[in-house]
Amino acid sequence: MNAPENNRSSRPVLSALAAALLTMSAAATSGERDPAHHQTMDHSPHQTMDHSQHQAMDRSQHQAMDHSQHQAMDHAGHAGADGADPHAAHRAAMAKPTAATTLDVAVPNARLLDQDGRPVAFVDDVLGDKVVVVDFVYTTCTTVCPVQSAMFNALQDRLGDRLGSRVKLVSLSVDPRRDSPARLKQAAEKYGSGPQWTWLTGEHAEVEDVLRAYGAYTPNFTDHPPLVLVGDAVTGQWTRFFGFPDINKIIDAVDTTLASREPASYAHAD
């Protein structure tokens, strides 16, 4: 990739510019700014500096740069006025190892809305007879949810022809009061959601029934645990991952669920 090389090659230029700015700032704060002295200063090093690499860096190169150092920065200063970190629970969850459990889920046939505003029944219209990968998000989240949505984007490619014919993806909002279908539509477009990735919201009570069934409900939606579930409504058997599972583990769970299914009549919600 060219972006890291451009980044490294521009560092000496930026370092030299920073040094020049520090020198000028020191002179200004010491009260020694003599106009005649400034006019006689040799500006040739700055004037002859090659800024072309920095100026020519386009948006795509910037996006491809390694921002890991920025991402690893301590953003505690973004906490609220009382000093509390509104995403503390999410940050703690991100540090925990991934664990997987199997469980039986009696999924409610809740009346929900998809990202296009269409009324859907959760079991009859969304889950159907397919193996489903489910996660739980809200559109104002800046920690866990973007990571999970990016993972779902990658799953679309990795699942290949299994997606659609036998498998689908579902993201359910844990903040239905604010996450309207229009907001979910924006999120779906942001994360490259395909036709087999459904985003859901709805009345709070209906959404809460689904969250409780999956063990994803919390009184404060910002504290919701990072969860991914793989299973179906036909067998009622699900594999639940806490944390951020490796994408290969999710695919393995999908394949295991597909392989273990026996011919069965369609199971509607109780």
**Pairwise pLDDT comparison (73 vs 164), residue with the higher score:** 164
Express each pLDDT in 15-49 by its tens digit. Answer: 433 343 333 333 333 443 444 444 444 444 444 44
Q: Which CATH number covers residue 208?
A: 3.40.30.10
Say whether both 168 and 227 belong to one domain: yes
The rounded percent of the chain whose pLDDT value lies above 70 is: 60
Say whether both 244 and 121 belong to one domain: yes
Sign of the C-alpha dihedral computed for residues 120, 122, 142 and 205 taken in this order: positive
User: How far, in Å, CA of 177 to CA of 146, rounded?
Assistant: 20
Residue 131 lies in a domain: yes
Say whether both 47 and 159 belong to one domain: no
**Pairwise pLDDT comparison (41 vs 244), residue with the higher score:** 244
Both tokens assigned to 63: 């996006």
Say whether both 121 and 242 belong to one domain: yes
3-state helix, strand, coil in the chain (%, to 5): 45, 15, 35
Per-residue confidence (pLDDT) for residue 240, from 0 to 100: 95
Number of folded domains that form the chain:
2
Q: How confident is the model at residue 252 (pLDDT cuts 50, 70, 90)?
A: very high
Indicate the pTM of the whole model: 0.64
Residue 47's domain comprises 2-63
Residue 12 lies in a domain: yes
Per-residue confidence (pLDDT) for residue 263, from 0 to 100: 54
The last residue of one of the domains, among 63, 78, 110, is 63
Say whether both 24 and 101 belong to one domain: no
Lowest mean pLDDT, pick from 94-103, 122-131, 168-177, 198-207? 94-103
Per-residue confidence (pLDDT) for residue 243, from 0 to 100: 86
Per-residue confidence (pLDDT) for residue 98, from 0 to 100: 58
Say whether both 122 and 20 belong to one domain: no
Say whether both 123 and 22 belong to one domain: no
Residue 220 lies in a domain: yes
Say whether both 116 and 171 belong to one domain: yes
Express each pLDDT in 56-106 by its tens digit. Answer: 444 444 444 444 333 333 333 333 434 444 444 444 444 444 568 998 999
Residue 73 lies in a domain: no
Count of other CB atoms within 10 angstroms of residue 94? 14
Residue 179 lies in a domain: yes
- SS3 state at 205: helix
**Pairwise pLDDT comparison (47 vs 110), residue with the higher score:** 110
Per-residue confidence (pLDDT) for residue 262, from 0 to 100: 60
Per-residue confidence (pLDDT) for residue 33, from 0 to 100: 40
Per-residue confidence (pLDDT) for residue 225, from 0 to 100: 84
